[in-house]
Chains A and B, each alone.
Chain A
């Protein structure tokens, strides 16, 4: 079905108790919400952190979540819902919906800044002497060297003869 597949955990949680004036504040033990920190697409101010949050969360939820679970001081939260396309079609010409998601822009308090780090830095791989990977790497390097043209020709192709 086109409905988002919810686990039994989330379905049980959706029945929040009714609130009437004077009721105690609703508390949830063991929340099922997951926050995903994302790299901002557009340039954001240095104190702003961008998250993808489940649709059911509100600004207050995000603030409490970060403050209580991660002890991150939050000054402001702004949210928006990103609508994703329903235009793409699959091999049987059925429309395929990309799921929508909610984005939260969290501004940190106490003049903190955050810069999304580079999680996939280039690392020099050092292979053990005599290992299979080292031999493979050597072989690939030799192949590349053989495929390259003669550097003395100065970039001129073989078509020009001599």
Chain B
């Protein structure tokens, strides 16, 4: 089984980029997962070109990753991209070119008023999945979102209603929940390994206005005492601001006490209206 890493390179340092990125890997798609089992000895390039004639359900324990019709989308032979005349020449030696097709829905859904879709992924369902599955699901959801955004923009352009706009919300929620689950796992791992509560270091500081806030550290190539812009940022409270800090603290304490007193008064009034002797139970 070819080992696949799902890295995505971004942000070449703009002023230091010399060579183009030549990281050879491919995002594992469900079809690839199936084909790799059957063609274990074949090299990666061939995997893209050689396709399995009979599409089989992936044997991995998870259900369909995408919420809806993901199996149909991965058909290799029935795609309109292949059937269109500009791509159906006598000899076709290029790689599987389903790339741009994935920005659009299945052709049978074009022109429909509504498209059926399932429920979004819940946190509970996502927590059961392994890291690899979650990683793949992220890209599935990302592609689905791209497709829906394309559809939305085209609908605006044609001045027609977008079919089933609730799909966008569902995908966004799924992505948010996936991110929550992944950050949970990262946090717990970091706590276990290093004992650090946060990934990004910081500390409590007081700004010029006397307010205490959590200052998050930023990476700099030079120390702080050489950073003139940082030195202009004052992280101390000037002496003339201290009275106002005290006043705001008093205000806060007063409001807290008033709230507690209000609560007690309310309870007392209720107890007077409904004494315990008259309680049914």
Contact = CB atoms under 8 A, between A and B. Distances in A.
A42 to B, nearest CB: 14
A58 to B, nearest CB: 7
Interface in B1-25: 6-14, 16-17, 21, 25
A118 B11 CA distance: 34
A43 B42 CA distance: 43
A82 interface: no
B166 interface: no
Contact of B153 (A18, A36, A117, A123): A36
Contacts of B150: 36-38
A160 interface: no
Given A36-B153, A37-B150, A117-B104, A123 B111 contact: yes
B160 A120 contact: yes
Contacts of B146: 34-37
A58 B139 contact: no
Interface in B85-115: 86, 94-100, 102-105, 110-112
Contacts of B97: 72, 112
A contact residues, range = 35 or more
A71 B154 contact: no
Interface string B193-232: 0000000100000000000000000111100000000000
Interface in B150-202: 150-155, 157-158, 160, 175-176, 179, 182, 200
Contacts of A36: 146, 149-150, 152-153
A127 interface: no
A29 to B, nearest CB: 7
A118 B221 CA distance: 52
A138 B14 CA distance: 64
A119 B110 contact: yes
Contact of A30 (B21, B96, B135, B218): B135
Interface string A46-59: 00010010000010
Nearest to B160: A120
B179 A119 contact: no
A70 interface: yes
A65 B179 CA distance: 20
Contacts of B151: 119
A29 B96 contact: no
Interface in B41-59: 48
A162 interface: no
Contacts of A31: 8, 10, 142
A118 B16 CA distance: 42
Contacts of A35: 103, 146, 149
B64 interface: no
B8 A64 contact: yes
Contacts of A134: none
B26 interface: yes
Contacts of B138: 30
A56 to B, nearest CB: 9
B67 interface: no
Interface of A: 7, 9, 15-21, 25-31, 34-39, 49, 52, 58, 60-61, 64-66, 68-73, 110, 112-115, 117-123
Please name the 6 residue pairs, one residue from A and one from B, whose CB atoms are nearest each other, closest first.
A72-B99, A18-B219, A70-B99, A36-B149, A123-B111, A37-B103
13 contacts: A9-B179, A18-B221, A19-B13, A29-B8, A36-B150, A58-B11, A60-B11, A60-B17, A70-B99, A70-B102, A71-B95, A73-B95, A120-B158
